[in-house]
Structure 1
Amino acid sequence: MLVQSEVVHCYEELASSISLMLVLARAKEWGRLPELESRCSALVDKLKLIEPQEALDATQVEMVLRLIDRIRVEQAEVSGLIKPQIDDLLGRMGHLHQQKNLGKAYGPTH
């Protein structure tokens, strides 16, 4: 029986989480993305600890490289889908800040 590498398992979990983030971002379902981003961050932190301590065989290295490539491609697409939403949010926040400053200077608007 083959024992699965913890490193490979973490990369599989990371790839799965990024894939789900991509599905949600394509559907414009932004609410679960922060939870998944936290999960991804925790997996990356775990990998930083365990990866240097575990030797992978050639098959495992190939699997990890395929997963990393998938993660990279899907993460880039997620970022591309999220960026316009963040830009819009920042624009709205800037507008609200400007209104607040005008309200302080000239009194509340009606």
Structure 2
Amino acid sequence: MAEHESVVVRYRELLEVSSVMLGYARSQDWEALIQQEARYAVELDRVRVIGASGSLSESERQDQLQLLEQILTQDAETRRLLDARREELSQMIGNSRRQQALGQAYQGGRGGVSTRLRFNAPDGSM
């Protein structure tokens, strides 16, 4: 019985870590979230090892299922928040690259557009 209880205990530990991670994602504390992922991976490995060691009673299986559903719900929300952050960073990088390209285009010729117009004017008026 102690072995089976530890499976449920491990799922509770995993749920706790998942809750902490979701809290960090909601508060946009990305550094803390990344650090917490290591603890999540350790707990997940423990669940896998212990979960493979035997069968559970019906009540333990129900507890396990309920905890797993909560973990998956939290994980989905955490991923949604991370996806939104990734999209935000992607847009920022894209904007930065565009600004850099524009800066290089304008600074590269130092009046490059007017200089090119002067030498390529069809009527020779420049």
State if a TM-score over 0.5 links the two structures: yes
Q: Please say which structure displays the higher CA radius of gyration.
A: 2
AA aligned opposite 1:81:
L
**Structure 2, unpaired ranges of 5+:** 109-126
Match of 2:42 in 1: 42
Aligned residues: 106
For the residues of structure 2 that align with 1:65 and 1:56, how far apart are their CA atoms? 11
Q: How far 1:99 moved relative to its partner?
A: 7.5
User: Structure 1 residue 89 and structure 2 residue 89: aligned?
Assistant: yes
Larger RCO, structure (CA 8 Å, separation 6 or more): 1
Q: What is the RMSD of the two structures over their aligned residues, measured on CA atoms?
A: 2.6
Match of 2:31 in 1: 31
- Percent identical among aligned pairs is 25
**Structure 1, unpaired ranges of 5+:** none
String of CA shifts for 1:24-57, please: whole Å, max 9, x gaps. 2112222211122111112222222221113221
String of CA shifts for 1:44-93, please: whole Å, max 9, x gaps. 22222221113221111111000011011111111111111112223444
